[in-house]
Amino acid sequence: MNLLNFLKRLIQDDGFELVDANSKSYIIGKPKNEIPIRLKILDKSLHWKLLLNPDLYLGEGYMNGSIVIENGTLTEFLDIALKNIGRQPTNEITNILARFRRIYRYLTNFNLIGKSKENVAHHYDISEKFYDLFLDEKRQYSCAYFKDEDNTLEEAQNNKIDHIIKKLNLKPNQRVLDIGCGWGTLAIDIAKKTQCEVVGITLSENQLEYAKQKAKEMNLENQVEFRLADYRQLNEKFDRVVSVGMFEHVGRKFYKKYFNKVFEFLNEDGVALIHTIGSINPPRGPQPWITKYIFPGGYTPSLSEVSLPIEESGLIVSDLEILRTHYQHTLSNWKERFISKKAEVLDMFDEKFFRMWEFYLVGCEMAFKWSDQVVFQFQLTKKLNATPITRDYIY
């Protein structure tokens, strides 16, 4: 099978124009617009690379300029592509490669404390000003909660914080651990709104410095403590444990260790809330482009991969909520803000960096819209009666 036949079999709904590296033009599918989106391939090696491993080489081609999109945007093109692909592998070759990557990654990826710190620095210690270009004012770099699709990003992120606080069922003066606290604003909001004592831990030195400064500015230093630490280094007790957007970086080898530590952290009446990206498909390999360029060491688990280590730890799944398209809307907001600040991004980095992050934000947006990505919110306890017997306290 060549690339042309592969694309014609794959794209059935909507379509685009393909111009290959030999300057030959083809209509793929049934474009809905009179002037279709045009995908131009400028490197002949991509004719076989895209057939062999499109999950890697499409992103690389877009980054380095050997794939160009005309008469439309990257969002419009990936919307068509992922709508047609859905939750299935693009072809049997990529399916086999994904299985191989899953096994290889498990055998070779060790997210030990030092390696985890390196992985965090790769992504989060880029530049403080960079993240301010597209995040909300609280620097919430995780899925927001859209009570209404017309919510602003700021409203939706505040909704998310409030939703988590309600699920934790917090009482004044309780002690809370925030694992992977980011820039500290969730921990700070918990302290302000519930009068709890909060310990936030991160592996990012930039995030730690920012969080400490924020706590100082808000006169919360006696109530919120931030530390540069890995969850495996703590041996303390807490009434509540929260972790938002950190579990994706734990690594499958350490799922058992992670949930055992959550069990150890919690007092007998304690409650934990673990918020993580996950997959509604069976276990599969990590996304190769994301792993190589954006999140080294990252992995979004299937539900089956998380359930067993939770059970073996002794924890109880007291509530489970699946946030389906919320992250699609979150990423759409980030993407629009990011693209609108292209001049500022190019002042900090180069065109290749801009295209890499554009592909990351758009690709993830479409993965949550059409593919297998969702967000799991696990509420975990040690006792069956640690939380009320209905969800009225949440809603």
| Residues with a known catalytic role | 364
59: how many CB neighbours lie within 10 A of its CB?
23
127 phi and psi angles, rounded to 5 deg: -170, 135
